[in-house]
Chains A and B, each alone.
Chain A
Amino acid sequence: NAGVTQTPKFQVLKTGQSMTLQCAQDMNHNSMYWYRQDPGMGLRLIYYSASEGTTDKGEVPNGYNVSRLNKREFSLRLESAAPSQTSVYFCASSDEDGSYEQYFGPGTRLTVT
């Protein structure tokens, strides 16, 4: 049971480049989430998917898009990366709708130059 996996672990992009962060969970969870973590800012929700086929904006959605590919996979896309998107990105999942207990992946460390 791998839990929540994320790829890549590290990425460096130039301003204006695009990329997709991948996330998968093998716990048969309904809900999945994307967060970003910046120093001193805690975890801020970018987008979430309450169930397969639905996605909604979180606190900081600008500059991002998401796709809930199937129940297991939830990807985050940066269409035109900006230095302000330099951050650590965490994917999470939960078994109950809107559960207080979320399971996090190891994170993707993204630097935009």
Chain B
Amino acid sequence: GQSLEQPSEVTAVEGAIVQINCTYQTSGFYGLSWYQQHDGGAPTFLSYNALDGLEETGRFSSFLSRSDSYGYLLLQELQMKDSASYFCAVKKGSGYSTLTFGKGTMLLVSP
């Protein structure tokens, strides 16, 4: 089987930096995606890592360590609008495979 672990909730203040961790256990791991969801709305894609290292997209960065079965999403210069749930999702295999999502981390940003 496979499992993903994320913290259920993280709190931070505006302007700060926050890191949301994701550890996974799965055979045939290929890559790790991150999604954002506001207030039960449609999840939206943020980033993807197939190789070890850091991927940067504006204020958001995502990191993967395949040897540690671990990744994280880093949010910098936090804004109130970043308050949302964040999900990591694993993809298995280079061919066709579906995503398996973690249970999500609720980020609360306070003034």
Contacts of A98 in B (CB 8 A): 91, 93, 95-98
Of B12-20, B72-80, B100-108, which binds chain A?
B100-108
Residues of A at the B interface (CB closer than 8 Å) are 4, 33, 35, 37, 40-45, 48, 50, 58-59, 88, 90, 97-98, 100-107
29 residue pairs from A and B, CB less than 8 Å apart: A40-B8, A42-B101, A42-B102, A42-B103, A42-B104, A43-B43, A43-B87, A43-B89, A45-B99, A45-B100, A48-B98, A50-B96, A88-B40, A90-B43, A97-B95, A98-B91, A98-B95, A100-B91, A100-B99, A101-B33, A101-B45, A101-B48, A102-B45, A104-B43, A104-B44, A106-B41, A106-B42, A107-B40, A107-B41
Q: What total of chain B residues lie within 8 Å of the partner, measured CB to CB? A: 25
Q: A90 contacts B42, CB within 8 Å?
A: yes
Contacts of B91 in A (CB 8 A): 98, 100
